[in-house]
Structure 1
C-alpha cells in the first residue's frame, strides 16, 4: 500500500482570531509576558490564540516548556521527532516554527528534506531511523512496536523513553489545535518543504 501523506490544513483566515493586543487584560498581559517574542517584539500567533482560554494556557505552558526547553532528549532528537510529527499531522505552523529550531540543532536543508521522505531515506543513522519510526508508529498505532522499543532502549533510559512518547503526543495535540482553529504562520517563517496532499492510491 503506498505511503499516505497528510493533508495540509491551511485556512485563508483563522477560525479563531489571535487576541489583539488592544484587548489584552491584566491577566493576559501577565500570561504573555514570559513568551519569547519574534523579531520586532511580536508575540507568536499560537500564544495569542491559545490565551483566549487563559486557564488552559496557564496549565499548558509549563508542560510544553518542559518538553521543549528543559527535556532530557538532545535537541537534534527532539526536533527530529517534532518535525516528523508535524509532517504526520500536516501542520504547517508547527513545521514552519520548528525548522529554524532544527537547523539550530545541526540539521541541514538535506536533513529537513529527508525527514519528509521518512525512515527509509538514505543518510539516517540507525538511531535516527528508529526515532522517525517511533513518531510514525505512535501516529498510526498509538504505541511503539517491540522492535522499535528494543532499539531505542539501547540508547535511552526509562525517563527518556517516557519523554519520547509524551513529546510526540504533545505535538499531535498541538497540531490538532493549530490545524483546527487555523492558526496562521507568523511573518518571517516558512512552511515550505511540508508535503501537500496525499500520495496517489494507484
Structure 2
C-alpha cells in the first residue's frame, strides 16, 4: 500500500509547519518521523499532540518501562507497524523482557510478567478490547500507581491509539527496525 501522506519537503513547509516541526526536532525526539509526518498537515494539532506525547512517553507517573509496555499493547491492538518498529526495541532497552514483547506480538498473554507489567497489560487489553476496565483491574492499577498513574496509563493508551489511527489512515511506512514486524 502506498503512503497517503508522504513527507512534505522542508522547502514547501508553511511558517506554521516549520515552527511545529522545529519544536519536535529540538525536543527529545530529535527528528520529524512516524506520526508527525502526516500530522504536519495540521501543525497546531501536531504541536499539541507532540507535547502530550512527550509527557506520556518520557515523564508519565507510571515510568518509561511501563509506558513502553502500554505502547506495545496499543500498537498490537491497532496492528500499527510504525509504533511497533519504534517502540519494541525501546521497550527491550528499558527492561521489558524479550519474551514478553514476543508474546504481545503474537496476540498472546505473556507467561512471565512482573506484577506491575501484568497490571498494565490487563488494563490496556481490557480498555482496548472492551472499551472499559473492570473493577478488579482498575483497583489493581490504582493500588500500584495511584490516581495520577491510572490517568496517565489511560492517557498512554488514548494517545497511542490516536497516533495509530493517524498512521493507519495515512498508511505511514514503518522505519527500519531491529524488531520483527508484527505478524498478521
TM-score (norm 1): 0.80
Which residue of 2 is the match for residue 101 of structure 1? 90
TM-score (norm 2): 0.87
CA contact (8 A) 1:91 1:175 kept: yes
1:147-186 matches, cutoff 5 A: 147-186=136-175
State the structure with bigger RCO (CA 8 A, min sep 6), 1 or 2. Answer: 1
Q: 1:103 to 1:121 in 2, by over 3 A?
A: closer
Higher helix content, 1 or 2? 2
Q: SS state of the match for residue 17, structure 2?
A: helix
CA contact (8 A) 1:119 1:129 kept: no
Q: SS state of the match for residue 156, structure 1?
A: helix
Give the aligned length: 181
Give per-residue Cα distances to partners, 1:24-71, cap 9 Å, x unaligned. 23332221113248xxx8631422321111121122221121111221
Which residue of 2 is the match for residue 75 of structure 1? 64
Structure 2 Cα separation of the partners of residues 180 and 89 of structure 1: 11
How far is the alpha carbon of 1:100 from its aligned partner? 2.4
How far is the alpha carbon of 1:137 from its aligned partner? 0.7
Structure 2 Cα separation of the partners of residues 97 and 81 of structure 1: 14
Which of structures 1 and 2 has the bigger CA Rg?
A: 1
Give per-residue Cα distances to partners, 1:153-186, cap 9 Å, x unaligned. 2211111111111211111111111101111123
Q: Which runs of 5+ in 2 are unaligned?
A: none
